[in-house]
Structure 1
C-alpha cells in the first residue's frame, strides 16, 4: 500500500504491470522515481556522481534532508531545487565491481532540450527491473554486466527547456556552455574551464573501468562513432577521422541501427543528410571539438558512440511509446556488445595482479595505450579473429601472445584470458622503479600527435576548429 500511495503521490506509475508512465518527468520526479526503484529492488544501487551548475547557486531557503549517505532534495516555491547527477546501477552485485564483470553505461539528456533519450532511459530502467529473473535476456544481461544509467547529465538545461521541436532553449547548462564541446580534446590544445557536469563525468570515469557506453541525443536518427575531431593527420581518411578500433565502432553502430526499427534506413529526417546503414563517422558528419565520446575512448579506455534518436528534439508526449518500441531491442542489443573481445588480468612473476600494465593489440596504435586497472584487469572489445597482444610491465619481459577471439555476446562473456609475465633477469627491482607507469596524460597525447605515433602525425601544430554560435545551436 505504501508503494502504491507513493506512486500516486508522484503521479508516476512505477514498476507495476502497466509500467512507467510515458510523459516528461521533471528532475524532482526523476529523483523520487529512482529512489523508489532503489528501495524496491535489491539488484540496484543509486548514487550521485556530482551536481549541476544550478545546484551550486541554491539559496539557503532550499531545504535538504539527509538520508544516510544520500541527500534528498526539498524545495521552497520560487527557489532553486537541488539537482544531483543521479546514476542508477543495475546488476547481480550492484554496489561494487566484480572481477570479470564488465562495466557498461548509458548517458542521457546531455543537451537539456534533447529529451527522448531521457525518457527512454527511464523506460529502460522500468523494463530491466520488471524483467530481471523473469525475462531470460534481461536476466542474463544483468547477471553478466554491471549497468550504469545516468538519466540526465544536464538537468538544468531540461528544466529551462520549452517544447519547440528544433529551436528550444535548454541545450546548454546553466552557465550557457555546450557540455558536448567542453571535454579535453586529443586533437586541440585549446583549454578552458570544465563545467561541473563535465568534471563529474571525468571523475566518474576514474572510479569505474567502463568498457562500453553510449550517450543519447536528438535532432537526427543515426548512430555516430569516433573520432569527432581531427588534426588532419594520418587518422583522416576519405573525409572520416578513423580510430584504431574503427572496425569495432562500425560494428557497434550497426548493431544499434539495424536492431532499431528504422535507423538503418538512413533517411528518417527531412532536413538531415542520408546516412548509409544509419551510421556515420562523427568527423565526417561535422567536426566537433571537446566531445564526450572521443574523451571516453582516448582517456577512459571506454568505447562510446552517440545515438541520435529523434528528428524532433522535444516531440509530443503522445509519440513517446512509439520511440520506446523503436529503440527497446536496440538498447538491449547494444548493451550485449560489452561482451565482445577479450578480458582478463595481467599477473606478475609472483602471480599477483598488476595495475597500469600496458595491454596493446598489434596494429591498433591507440593514442593512450590501454592499461590494466587497480585489479590488474583489462578489457579489449574486438571482433572475432586472431589478434597478437603485447603486454608490458616494468621489471618483466615483454609478453607477445596470439589469441583466437570468438563472438562473445552470444554467450554473454568475452574470451577470458590471463597474461602471466616473467621477471626480466636483466632488471633488478628497486624502490625507484617498482611503481607502475602513470596513465596517459594530455601532454603525452600531444607528443604522439607531433610525430611519435605510427597512427597520427601533426598538421602544423594546433588545429583549431571554429564553430559559429548560430550553427552551434543547430548541431546535435
Structure 2
C-alpha cells in the first residue's frame, strides 16, 4: 500500500475512534472526565436541587427568565414555575402564554427532568436556532417541573409500576381533584390543586401540555363523559374542538421518536393508532386537569404519557430527552396557529371578559384584562360571535390559513346604538400572498400599532420525524443535549 493510502487509512481510523468515543461520552458510557460530566448531568434532581437549578438559571439569564412560585405543597414545598421568554418583565400585547406541567403524579419522574433539559435547550439555542429564537421572541413559555414535589420525594428510582409517590402528602390523586364538567366533585380541594387553579385563572394560557408516565401516548379531552360507567369504556367523549385536539396531539406524537407507532407497553395493554387517544376512550376519569383547563379557562391541554416505566433509571434519561425533544419544541409552536385579536368598545378601550364563541363550537372563552383573545383553529372558514354586558352581540366571519396567524379585531357597539350588519367574509387571498386575510382594524389605529408587528408563525421544524398527514420520515438527530458550563452543579 502506498504511503499516502496508509496516511489516509490512519486518518480515517483516527476519526472513527474519535466519533465512537464521542458517542460513548454522550451516552454516559465513557470513563473519561467528559463522560463523567455527562452522566452527572443526566440525573434526577430532588426538590432542593431543582430549586437551586431554577434559581441559578433565573440569575444567569435575567433577560430571558423569571422564576416564581404558584403556591406550596401540603408539606410546604414551592410549586416553582420558570417563565422563559425574551424580556420576561414585559407583557407584549397578544403574546400568547403556553405552559408545561410535569410530575403531577410524583412517581412519574421523566417529565420532571425533561423540563430541566428543555429550559437549558431554549436558553442556549436562542442565538443559533431560528425556531427557538422565534419561540422566545413571540411566546411566554411557563414551565412547572413538578406539581407534586412531596410525592416525588418518597418515590423510588427504578420503580416502573406501583403507586408509591403517585399521590400528594394527603394521599390524594391530584389528577382527580379538579372540578369536573360531567360530575359534581365532593373531594376536598388540595393545596397543589388550588395553587394551579389560581395560576391558570390569573394567566390567560392558550395551550398546555401535562406530562405523565406509565404509557406512551398523547391523550386529549374529554377525559370524562356524561355516563362514565363501565359500558362507556373505549367510547370517545368528543369536545367541540376535537379536530384541533386531534391535530395538536398528533403534532407531539409524530415528532416523537416512536410514539406515533402506537405500540403498547406490553402485550396485554392497549395499542394507540398514531400514538394518540381520546381520554375517555382510553379510560374515563373525573376531576382531570386537562378537562378543567378547557372548560373553565379556555386553555387547550393535552396529556403526554412519555415512558412505559414510571421512574426509570437515570441512565435512560438521555434516550428520553432525545425521543421527546423535537415533540416538546414542535408542540409549543402550535400556539401560533388560528386566530387572535382584541375586543374593544367604540372609543378603543378594551372590553374585559367579553365572551367569545366560534361557529358550531359550544365551548367558549373570554377576553383578558386588555381585551385580548386567542384561539387555536385548523385552516377553514369560521364565524366569531362576541358578546358582553352593555353591548350588542357582534358576529364576524374570518378565514384561517395554514401556517398563518389570522388577526381579527372586534369593535362592540353600545346597546344605546343600532348595530350594523355583520361584516361579510372576505374572498380567500391568492396563494402567492403570505400575509393572510386583511385584519379588521378598529378606527383607533394608533392604539393597535402593536398588532402590525406580529410576525408570522414559525415555519415547521426540520424534524427527526416530520408530521405530514400521519406519515413519519426518519431523519438523523445531530444535536445531543449538553449542559452549558454556567448551569452545571
| TM-score, normalisation: structure 1 | 0.77
Q: Which residue of 1 aligns with 2:476?
A: none
Greater mean deviation of Cα atoms: 91-100 or 154-163: 91-100
Q: CA deviation at 1:293?
A: 0.4
* Cα distance per residue 1:343-366 (max 9 Å; x no partner): 111011222111011111110001
Structure 1 pair 333–180 and aligned structure 2 pair: CA distance change class (3 A): same
Q: Which residue of 1 aligns with 2:332?
A: 335
Q: Which residue of 2 aligns with 1:418?
A: 409
Aligned length: 378
Secondary structure of residue in 2 paired with 1:241: coil
Secondary structure of residue in 1 paired with 2:170: coil
Q: Of 288, 291, 294, which aligns to 1:291?
A: 288
Is residue 341 of structure 2 the alignment partner of residue 344 of structure 1? yes
| TM-score, normalisation: structure 2 | 0.75
Greater mean deviation of Cα atoms: 257-266 or 129-138: 129-138
Secondary structure of residue in 2 paired with 1:114: coil
Secondary structure of residue in 2 paired with 1:54: coil
Is residue 53 of structure 2 the alignment partner of residue 33 of structure 1? yes
Q: Is the 8 A contact 1:397 1:422 kept in 2?
A: yes
Q: Distance in 2 between matches of 1:46 and 1:325?
A: 26
Q: Of 135, 156, 161, which aligns to 1:162?
A: 156
Q: Distance in 2 between matches of 1:242 and 1:249?
A: 10
Show the 5 A alignment for 1:427-442: none
Is residue 51 of structure 2 the alignment partner of residue 51 of structure 1? no
Q: Which residue of 2 aligns with 1:115?
A: 109
Secondary structure of residue in 1 paired with 2:168: coil
Q: CA deviation at 1:268?
A: 4.2
Q: Which residue of 1 aligns with 2:314?
A: 317
Q: Which residue of 1 aligns with 2:472?
A: none
- Gaps of at least 5 residues in structure 1 are 1-12, 56-82, 428-476
Q: Of 379, 390, 393, which aligns to 1:395?
A: 390
Q: Distance in 1 between matches of 2:161 and 2:137?
A: 40
* Cα distance per residue 1:346-387 (max 9 Å; x no partner): 011222111011111110001xx2111111111111011110
Structure 1 pair 238–182 and aligned structure 2 pair: CA distance change class (3 A): closer
Q: Which residue of 1 aligns with 2:127?
A: 133
Give the ranges of 4+ consecutive aligned residues of structure 1 lying more than 3 Å apart after TM superposition. 17-20
Q: Which residue of 1 aligns with 2:275?
A: 278
Q: Distance in 1 between matches of 2:417 and 2:93?
A: 32
Q: Which residue of 1 aligns with 2:171?
A: 176
Q: Distance in 2 between matches of 1:156 and 1:237?
A: 32
Q: Of 220, 225, 234, which aligns to 1:225?
A: 220
Q: Which residue of 2 aligns with 1:187?
A: 182
Q: CA deviation at 1:162?
A: 1.4
Q: Is the 8 A contact 2:264 2:272 kept in 1?
A: no
Q: CA deviation at 1:95?
A: 2.8
Q: Distance in 1 between matches of 2:192 and 2:89?
A: 23
Q: CA deviation at 1:425?
A: 3.1
Greater mean deviation of Cα atoms: 391-400 or 25-34: 391-400
Q: Which residue of 2 aligns with 1:461?
A: none
Higher Cα Rg, which structure: 2
Q: Of 248, 252, 277, which aligns to 1:252?
A: 248
Q: CA deviation at 1:18?
A: 6.8
Q: Of 202, 209, 215, which aligns to 2:210?
A: 215
Q: Which residue of 2 aligns with 1:241?
A: 237
Q: CA deviation at 1:300?
A: 1.2
Q: Distance in 2 between matches of 1:395 and 1:173?
A: 45
Q: CA deviation at 1:96?
A: 4.5
Q: Is the 8 A contact 1:105 1:147 kept in 2?
A: yes
C-alpha RMSD of the superposition: 2.1
Q: Is the 8 A contact 1:93 1:146 kept in 2?
A: no
Q: Of 173, 195, 200, which aligns to 1:200?
A: 195
Q: Which residue of 2 aligns with 1:465?
A: none
Q: CA deviation at 1:272?
A: 2.5
Q: Distance in 1 between matches of 2:366 and 2:233?
A: 27
Q: Distance in 1 between matches of 2:235 and 2:279?
A: 10
Q: Is the 8 A contact 2:344 2:350 kept in 1?
A: yes
Q: Distance in 2 between matches of 1:376 and 1:93?
A: 22
Q: Is the 8 A contact 1:44 1:89 kept in 2?
A: yes
Q: CA deviation at 1:93?
A: 2.5
Q: Is the 8 A contact 1:259 1:330 kept in 2?
A: yes
* Cα distance per residue 1:311-336 (max 9 Å; x no partner): 00011111110010010000000000
Q: CA deviation at 1:426?
A: 6.0
